[in-house]
Structures are given as structure tokens and as C-alpha cells.
Structure 1
């Protein structure tokens, strides 16, 4: 009889820091700029990435110091996960908070970090750094991602 994996047996709030961090699938989508329409409150995702996102690995290049370098970077926490409806439906934090299982391509399930890229879920090869786009032009970069 095998023990169930931690993500199936523990609520998000009970996970250790390392378990919580391992839920990140490495898609990079949380590092994309979003635009909110003032009147409707609708949120649009762009293909413009934070300057700290390594667009190949889809990981933050300065993760430990990201809050100091990018003050409006959102730190995902288990206690706030219900407010993360802006995350794609493919995101493990949102998936588990909504009571759904992790997808087969999730690295914790597949055992391979590349599976998120192979499944076409990550932003690899599909984004541009904010360093190359004027903020007034972000609207021209609105895209629809799988799971949005």
C-alpha cells in the first residue's frame, strides 16, 4: 500500500515551505503583466514578462530578492489562495484550492520539469521582456493562454 503524495493528502495551509514551493509547475505565467479594465474589472493577460523572468527556464532569475527588486511582485501564500482567481486554471495553487487534481504534465506527477514545456503550458518562447515594451504599448500584447 503506497502513501498518497503530500498534495493529495494535505491542505495547502498545512504544507511546508518546500512543499508549497514545489507546487509551482514552472510555467512562468504568474510573471506576466496583466491589465485590468477599470469599468468592468476584467483582467487581461499579456505576453509581456517581468524583467526578472528567464524566458527559457520560465523561472525568476532573482527569486530570493524579487520583492526588493520588483516591489509589486505578488508572493503567493497558502492563506490567500482563494484570491488567486487571476492565476490560470492550470496553476497548481489554484487547481488544488479548487479541489481538482494536478494535471499529468505537472512536474510533481510526471517527475520531469520539462513536461510543463512539452505540454505547451509554459510561456517558453512566447513572451517578451518588459525591458523591450513601453508600458503604454502593453495593450497591444494581450493574448489568450491555454487555461485562461
Structure 2
């Protein structure tokens, strides 16, 4: 049986390795979002961060990402509550913070890092780099979150 550390410990008590392991690799947190000023609802776009690799759904320079993208949010156990509203509905950090379990396709449950892509819930293969789309055109790039 796999170690289900997320069930035994609170998010704030996880080691750095455990915290990082919760990321399912969907890449949806790296997509630019638009927030409705009236409702506060966050809308997902196909427009990906300039460091996002659309094939692997990973950051091309994760350790140094804030140097290249100062607005990149560094999610930690202390900040997840403040940022949960814009995280994808399938995000393990958001789900666990809200008291839910991991989805059945999560790599920690399947043992397969590609299970997020096989399940069709990642951003793999359908994004466009932010360097190719003017910000005023992002509204035309809205998508429904794959769940």
C-alpha cells in the first residue's frame, strides 16, 4: 500500500518533499486567469505562463521561476488558504485544504505520473504561450476547466 501521508498529517506539517509530491502535474495553476470584478469568479484561459512547457505541464525553470516571473505565486502550506480561490478545482492543495480527498486519478494514488494526462484533466497540449497573445485578447481564450 502506498504511503498516504496527506491523510495522516495536516498540510502545515508536511515535509517539503511531501508538499511538492502533492502536485499532480496538471499545469492548470500555470495558466493565466481572469477574475470577474463584480462576482470574484475566476475564469481559466488557454494562455500559459511564459515558463510553462505545454507538453510536460511543468515549469521550465521551477527553482528560479520567481526571478523570471515575479508575479508567480509560491504556494506553501501557510499561503494555500489565501490562494485557494484561484487554484483549479482538481488541485490537491485546494482539495485537501477544503477537507476533500485526492481524486482517484492523482499520481500519488495511481503510482503513474501520467495518470493526470490520461484522465484528461491536465493542460497538456491545448495551451498557448502568453508571449503570443496580447493581454487584451485573453478574454477570447477562456476555457472550461477540465475536471
Partners in 2 of 1:131 and 1:3 — Cα distance?
41
Distance 1:39 1:109 in 2: 38
Aligned partners of 2:32, 2:88: CA distance in 1, in Å?
13
**Could you state the TM-score of these two structures normalised by the residue count of structure 2?**
0.94
2:65 counterpart of 1:77: no
19-28 or 80-89: bigger deviation: 80-89
Gaps in structure 1 of 5+ consecutive residues:
none
Q: Number of paired residues?
A: 146
- Displacement after TM superposition at 1:42 (Å): 2.4
Report whether the alignment pairs 1:122 with 2:103: no
**What is the alpha-carbon root mean square deviation over aligned residues?**
1.4
Deviation at 1:12, TM superposition (A): 0.2
CA distance in 2, matches of 1:98, 1:23: 14
Please list every run of at least 4 consecutive aligned residues from structure 1 whose deviation after the TM superposition is greater than 2 angstroms. 37-42
State the alpha-carbon separation in 2 of the partners of residues 4 and 109 from structure 1.
9
* Corresponding residue of 1:65: 64
Q: TM-score of the superposition, structure 1-length normalised?
A: 0.93
3-state SS of the aligned residue for 2:79? helix
- Structure 2, unpaired ranges of 5+: none
Deviation by residue 1:53-83 (Cα, 9 ceiling, x = unmatched): 0100000000010001000000111012222
